[in-house]
Amino acid sequence: MDFKKLGWILLFIGVNFATAQVKIGENPNTINGASIVELESTDKALVLTRVSTSQMQSIVPLHGAMVYNTDTQCIHYFNGAQWNNLCNGSGSTGNVSFIDNGNGTFTLNDGNGGTITFNGAAETTSTLVDNFDGTYTYTNETGGQTVISFTTTDSQNISTDGTAGNISIDNGNSITLNVDDGDADDQNEIQDLQFNSGIISLSNDPDATTINLSSYDDSAAIAALQADVDANETDADNAIALKEDAANKSTDVNLADATNTLFPTELAVKTYVDAQVGGIAPDDDVSAVDFDGTNLSVTEGGNTLSADISALDDSAAIAALQADVDANETDADNAIALKEDAANKSTDVNLADATNTLFPTELAVKTYVDAQVGGIAPDDDVSAVDFDGTNLSVTEGGNTLSADISALDDSAAIAALQADVDANETDADNAIALKEDAANKSTDGTLSGNSDVDFPTEQAVKTYVDTEVGAINTVGAETNNSISAGANGGAFYESPIKAFGKIGSNGSVIRATTGVTSTRLSTGRYRVTLPTGAVSDANYIIQLTQPGRGGAGNDDPGISYSNQTSTTFEVIVGDNDNGGTDRSRFNSEFMFTILDL
What's the helix, strand, coil split of the chain in %, to 5? 25, 30, 50
Residue 347 has pLDDT above 60, yes or no: yes
| pLDDT tens digit sequence for 579-591 | 667 778 899 999 9
> In whole angstroms, what is the distance from residue 224 CA to residue 307 CA?
45
| pLDDT tens digit sequence for 379-438 | 556 778 888 878 888 787 778 888 888 777 777 888 888 898 899 889 888 877 777 776
Residue 24 has pLDDT above 70, yes or no: yes
| pLDDT tens digit sequence for 363-390 | 777 877 777 767 766 555 677 888 887 8
pLDDT bin (cut points 50, 70, 90) of residue 95 is low
pLDDT bin (cut points 50, 70, 90) of residue 548 is confident
When the pLDDT of each residue in the chain is averaged and rounded to a whole number, the result is 78
The pLDDT of residue 5? 56
The pLDDT of residue 90? 46
Spatial neighbors of 423 by CB under 8 A, at least 6 apart, are: none
| pLDDT tens digit sequence for 35-64 | 888 889 899 888 999 999 999 999 999 999
Phi then psi for residue 324, to 5 deg, are: -65, -45
> In whole angstroms, what is the distance from residue 501 CA to residue 515 CA?
11
Residue 458 has pLDDT above 90, yes or no: no
Report the SS3 class of residue 261: coil
Mean pLDDT of 333-360: 74
- Of 21 and 538, the structure prediction assigns the larger pLDDT to 538
The pLDDT of residue 440? 73
The pLDDT of residue 524? 94
Domain ranges of the chain: 21-125, 191-242+335-434, 266-314+443-485, 495-595
Q: Which of 320-324, 392-396, 470-474 has the lowest mean pLDDT?
A: 470-474
Continuous segment of H or E residues that includes residue 334: helix 315-337
Spatial neighbors of 245 by CB under 8 A, at least 6 apart, are: 431, 434, 435
> In whole angstroms, what is the distance from residue 246 CA to residue 454 CA?
11
- Of 43 and 517, the structure prediction assigns the larger pLDDT to 517
CB atoms within 10 A of CB 285: 20
> In whole angstroms, what is the distance from residue 546 CA to residue 526 CA?
13
| pLDDT tens digit sequence for 193-204 | 777 777 878 777
Mean pLDDT of 350-356: 74
> In whole angstroms, what is the distance from residue 2 CA to residue 153 CA?
5
The pLDDT of residue 50? 96
| This prediction's pTM | 0.25
pLDDT bin (cut points 50, 70, 90) of residue 594 is very high
> In whole angstroms, what is the distance from residue 101 CA to residue 107 CA?
7
Residue 504 has pLDDT above 90, yes or no: yes
Spatial neighbors of 592 by CB under 8 A, at least 6 apart, are: 499, 500, 501, 503, 528, 542, 543, 544, 545, 571
The pLDDT of residue 248? 74
- HEC string of 177-223 equals CCCCCCCCCCCCCCCCEEEECCEEEECCCCCCCEEECHHHCCHHHHH
Q: Using CA atoms in the order 345, 348, 352, 354, what is the torsion angle rounded to 10 degrees?
A: -10
Q: How are beta strands 525-529 and 541-545 bridged, if at all?
A: unpaired
Residue 532 has pLDDT above 90, yes or no: yes
Residue 516 has pLDDT above 80, yes or no: yes
The pLDDT of residue 144? 82
Length of the chain: 597
Helices 411-433, 219-241: crossing angle, 10 deg rounding = 10
Mean pLDDT of 462-481: 68
Q: How far is residue 203 from each of residues 207, 380, 455, 517, 530, measured CA to CA in Å? A: 10, 15, 74, 78, 82
pLDDT bin (cut points 50, 70, 90) of residue 322 is confident
Please report, rounded to a whole number, the percentage of residues in the chain having pLDDT higher than 90: 19
pLDDT bin (cut points 50, 70, 90) of residue 360 is confident
- According to the per-residue pLDDT averaged within each range, which of 110-124, 267-281, 559-573 is highest? 559-573
The pLDDT of residue 193? 74
- Of 337 and 379, the structure prediction assigns the larger pLDDT to 337
Residue 545 has pLDDT above 80, yes or no: yes
The pLDDT of residue 93? 45
Residue 98 has pLDDT above 60, yes or no: yes
Helices 219-241, 315-337: crossing angle, 10 deg rounding = 170
Ordered alpha helix ranges (H), 2-131: 3-19, 53-57
Report whether 86 contacts 77 (CB < 8 A).
Answer: yes
The pLDDT of residue 562? 96
Continuous segment of H or E residues that includes residue 308: strand 303-308
